[in-house]
Amino acid sequence: SLYARELHGRKPCRDLMDADPLIVDKATRMTELSELVVNKGKAAFTQGFIITSEGRYLGLGSGFDLMREVTEMQIVAARYANPLTGLPGNVPIQEHMERLLVNEQTFVTAYFDLDQFKPYNDVYGFRHGDVIIQLLARILRESCNAELDFVGHIGGDDFVVLFQSLDWEVRCHGMLARFDRECQSLFNPEHVEAGGYHSENRRGAMAFHALVTLSIGAVLVDPTHFHQYQEVARAASEAKHMAKRVDGSSLFIDQR
């Protein structure tokens, strides 16, 4: 203007640029992005970060945008958390899976279901049944990589894990072994020795039922093959039913 002078008017842009900006891919998880911003320092929070897609510029994000998104995710997770386990319920599960599909990320959907759970409730009571559900929730949570994997509680004795860990199959076998081992203390010694107990079946007749075991149906989700949440859920449910056909704790992997 007539009475003002631009302080940086004659300086080249490179003198004002951040020579080492924070650059992240659009598929970066919120937890990972939050950690990157914190480690980068105040500049990344106030000045923002660059978002790319396959190495190409996509846009800018700010620390305030990140805070708002993380807060919203926490509110949604708390609103739809399962009251027994504290794990995210159906809405967060679907939203997380849809984000992975939209970002065209490969992942594994593993459906966890307890076998012979109703007879256990009939013999030991629902309070003891809740203890088994909480045990399984703890095993899943502690066996997964919190930075990569998503653990959700569909309801009842049904759980799902969205794996991005490359060693997901090893983790699943570890979960099966740990569940079988730690579950032993939740049965009476005579039932452990007999391998089960007698209770009414679905027709009201007394029958022998084996001890509670764990079935896992896993599906490798290729984004070029699966496009919608419902498709993945259907495939995972089918894989779970295949696993339940096997006696004892088992893992069935859909190879489609």
Lowest-confidence segment of 29-38, 50-59, 79-88, 89-98 by average pLDDT: 29-38
Residues 153-179 have a mean pLDDT of 97
Fold of 84-254: Alpha-Beta Plaits (3.30.70)
pLDDT confidence bin for 211, thresholds 50/70/90: very high
- Most confidently modeled of 75-84, 195-204, 218-227? 218-227
Dihedral through CA 201, CA 207, CA 208, CA 213, nearest 10? -10
pLDDT tens string 54-79? 888 888 887 777 777 777 766 666 66
Strand runs (DSSP E) across the chain, as ranges? 23-25, 49-53, 56-61, 107-115, 150-155, 158-163, 196-200, 206-210, 213-221, 250-254
Classify the C-alpha dihedral 242-246-252-256 as positive or negative.
negative
pLDDT confidence bin for 33, thresholds 50/70/90: confident
Beta carbons within 8 Å of 99's beta carbon, 6+ residues apart: none
- The predicted structure's pLDDT at residue 54: 81
The CATH number that domain 13-69 falls under is 3.90.1280
Residue 169: CB atoms within 10 Å: 16
Classified as helix, coil or strand, 49 is: strand
Site of tokens 């039932």 = 191
In the chain, where the domains are located: 13-69, 84-254
Residue 191: CB atoms within 10 Å: 17
Burial class (CB in 10 A: 0-12, 13-18, 19+), 5: exposed
pLDDT tens string 93-113? 999 999 999 989 999 999 999
- The predicted structure's pLDDT at residue 203: 82
Same fold, 13-69 and 84-254: no
